C-alpha cells in the first residue's frame, strides 16, 4: 500500500471523521509534521549526501545546506592534504572551548548553531576546503501534485499515516486514548523502518558523535 497526497489527506479525514474547514486547511501541516517526526527518528542512508565548500578564515561560522537535517561527518583538508574530521558537539561546548572568537587555529569541533549555520571551534585560521556528509530533508509530499507520491508515502506509509493522525489529534485536542493508540502505532512503524535500514552510528574515534539524531 502507498499513499498519494490526495489519498493521505482523505485517509486522515476518514480516520478522524472530521471534514471541518479549518481542519482540512491544516491537513498539509499535519503531514509535514509527521514527515519531520519520521526523519528525526530514523536516519536512512538513502537520505544522505555530500557537499563541498570552504571555511572562511577568522569566521567561526559555516553555512549549512538549505535541506540540512542532521550531520554525518564534517572534514577539512589540512596543509598536508589530509582529511581531518571534526567532532560533533553541543554548541555550548564549542563556545566554551573557544570563548574568544578571535582565537584561531585548525578547527577540532563543530555544532549546529542555528537553522542556517554551524559553529566551529577554534575559529578557522585558514580558508580550509571542507566536505560535509549529512542527512537531508527530502521534498515533502505536500509540495507535489495531488496524485504525487514520495519515498515516505510509498515505503513508510504506515508511519506517515499514524504520524499524521497523531498530529491531527493534537490539533483537535482529541482523546488521550486515541492519541496513545496512534503514538503506539507510529512507534511500531518507526521501529520497522529502523530494522529495514537505519543508518549506523559511526563509532571510530575519528568520528565520535558524528551521527546525531536531533531532539524533537
Give the model's confidence band at 200: pLDDT under 50 very low, under 70 low, under 90 confident, else very high: very low
Q: Do residue 56 and residue 118 come from a single domain? A: yes
Q: Looking at the predicted structure, is the pLDDT value of residue 209 above 50?
A: no
Percent of the chain's residues with pLDDT above 70: 91
Give the model's confidence band at 30: pLDDT under 50 very low, under 70 low, under 90 confident, else very high: very high
Q: Do residue 162 and residue 125 come from a single domain? A: no
Q: Do residue 61 and residue 40 come from a single domain? A: no
Q: What is the pLDDT of residues 49-72, one digit of tens each?
A: 999 999 999 999 999 999 999 999
Q: What is the pLDDT of residues 129-155, one digit of tens each?
A: 999 999 999 999 999 999 999 999 999
Mutual angle of helices 27-41 and 176-197, in 10-degree steps: 50
pLDDT at residue 161 in the model: 98
Select from 24, 40, 5, 65 the least CA-distant residue to 215: 40
Q: Do residue 58 and residue 132 come from a single domain? A: yes
Give the model's confidence band at 12: pLDDT under 50 very low, under 70 low, under 90 confident, else very high: very high
- Provide the residue range defining the domain that includes 77: 47-136+200-207
Residue recorded with cell 506509509: 157
Q: How far apart are CA 207 and CA 155, in angstroms?
A: 30
The structure's pTM equals 0.78
Q: Do residue 78 and residue 123 come from a single domain? A: yes
Lowest mean per-residue pLDDT among 39-53, 77-91, 158-172: 39-53
Q: Which long-range contacts (CB under 8 A, 24 or more apart) does 123-128 make?
A: 123/58, 123/59, 123/60, 123/98, 124/55, 124/56, 124/57, 124/58, 124/59, 124/60, 125/57, 125/58, 126/55, 126/57, 126/79, 127/54, 127/55, 127/56, 127/57, 128/54, 128/55, 128/76, 128/77, 128/78
The answer to the question of residue 215 being in a domain is no
Amino acid at each position: 500500500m502507498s499513499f498519494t497526497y490526495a489519498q493521505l489527506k482523505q485517509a486522515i479525514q476518514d480516520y478522524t471523521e472530521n471534514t471541518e474547514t479549518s481542519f482540512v486547511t491544516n491537513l498539509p501541516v499535519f503531514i509535514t509534521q509527521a514527515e519531520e517526526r519520521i526523519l528525526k527518528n530514523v536516519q536512512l542512508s538513502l537520505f544522505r549526501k555530500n557537499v563541498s565548500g570552504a571555511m572562511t578564515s577568522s569566521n567561526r561560522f559555516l553555512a549549512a545546506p538549505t535541506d540540512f537535517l542532521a550531520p554525518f561527518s564534517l572534514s577539512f583538508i589540512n596543509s598536508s592534504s589530509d582529511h581531518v574530521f571534526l567532532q560533533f558537539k553541543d554548541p555550548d561546548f564549542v563556545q566554551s572551548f573557544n570563548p574568544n572568537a578571535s582565537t584561531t587555529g585548525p578547527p577540532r569541533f563543530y555544532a549546529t548553531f542555528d537553522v542556517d549555520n554551524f559553529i566551529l571551534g577554534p575559529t578557522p585560521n585558514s580558508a580550509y576546503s571542507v566536505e560535509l556528509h549529512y542527512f537531508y530533508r527530502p521534498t515533502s509530499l505536500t509540495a507535489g501534485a495531488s496524485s504525487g507520491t514520495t519515498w515516505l508515502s510509498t515505503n513508510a506509509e504506515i508511519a506517515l499515516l499514524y504520524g499524521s493522525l497523531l498530529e491531527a489529534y493534537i490539533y483537535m485536542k482529541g482523546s488521550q486514548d486515541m492519541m496513545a493508540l496512534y503514538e503506539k502505532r507510529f512507534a511500531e512503524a518507526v521501529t520497522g523502518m529502523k530494522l529495514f535500514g537505519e543508518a549506523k552510528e559511526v563509532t571510530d574515534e575519528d568520528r565520535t558523535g558524528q551521527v546525531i539524531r536531533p531532539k524533537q
